[in-house]
Amino acid sequence: MTEVTFTQSEQRQLLVLARESIQHGLDHGSPLPTNPENFEPGLNAPGAAFVTLEKQGELRGCIGSVEAYRPLVEDVAENAWHAAFTDPRFKPLSPTEFLQLHIEISVLTQPEEMIIDSELDLKHQLVPGRDGLIIRDEHHRGLFLPAVWDKLPDVDSFLSHLKQKAGFPRGYWSDSISCQKFYSFEFGDEDV
């Protein structure tokens, strides 16, 4: 799996873009329109990103794309706006909260299908701190970014919480579960 990296300048551009898109949302009720020509060429390629918002160390919104289907700059601008205003777990962001936001961006690699024959096999294949995971079965689906390992550092708790997020019953496992893993390049306000 190919890893993704970005220069300090590219990170700064994406973080400024995310913040400006949220400000545009406060002012106009929509994401900031992007012109890919205004950004470094590497940021114009199709990219999939999650934008995570935190306020005083607590999650305040997180929305993203799993598949790269539009220019990365457009994906970041749209997902920053959605994280601030349409994440169903939170009320739309207020101007006061905007001043307290910490923004983190995770740019994902293309997810790769995992070949697993049991839950134990899945646990053995996961690399804590590195792997993001998507788990699916029938109409249930859940995704954890690699950053979640910071809060759930062991494989059992990581997988258990991901299954809960996907809506599976406690202790659930089925031979029809499919899993994909991915990496991400993560950076936030404090990194640039």
Tens of pLDDT, residue by residue over 58-80, are: 999 999 999 999 999 999 999 99
Spatial distance between the Cα atoms of 9 and 17, rounded to a whole number of angstroms: 12
Beta bridge partners, 135, equal 142, 179
Spatial distance between the Cα atoms of 25 and 40, rounded to a whole number of angstroms: 24
Instruction: Give the number of residues written for the chain.
Output: 192
Whether 1 is in a domain gets the answer no
Tens of pLDDT, residue by residue over 87-125, are: 999 999 999 999 999 999 999 999 999 999 999 999 999
- Do 117 and 104 belong together in one domain? no
Boundaries of domain holding 142: 112-183
Report the percentage of the chain scoring pLDDT > 90.
90
Find tokens 């299954």 and name the residue. 163
- Do 69 and 129 belong together in one domain? no
| Of 143, 133, 137, 184, nearest in space to 165 by CA | 143
Q: What is the pLDDT of residue 108?
A: 97
- Do 36 and 100 belong together in one domain? yes
- Do 76 and 105 belong together in one domain? yes
- Do 37 and 69 belong together in one domain? yes
Tally the domains of the chain: 2
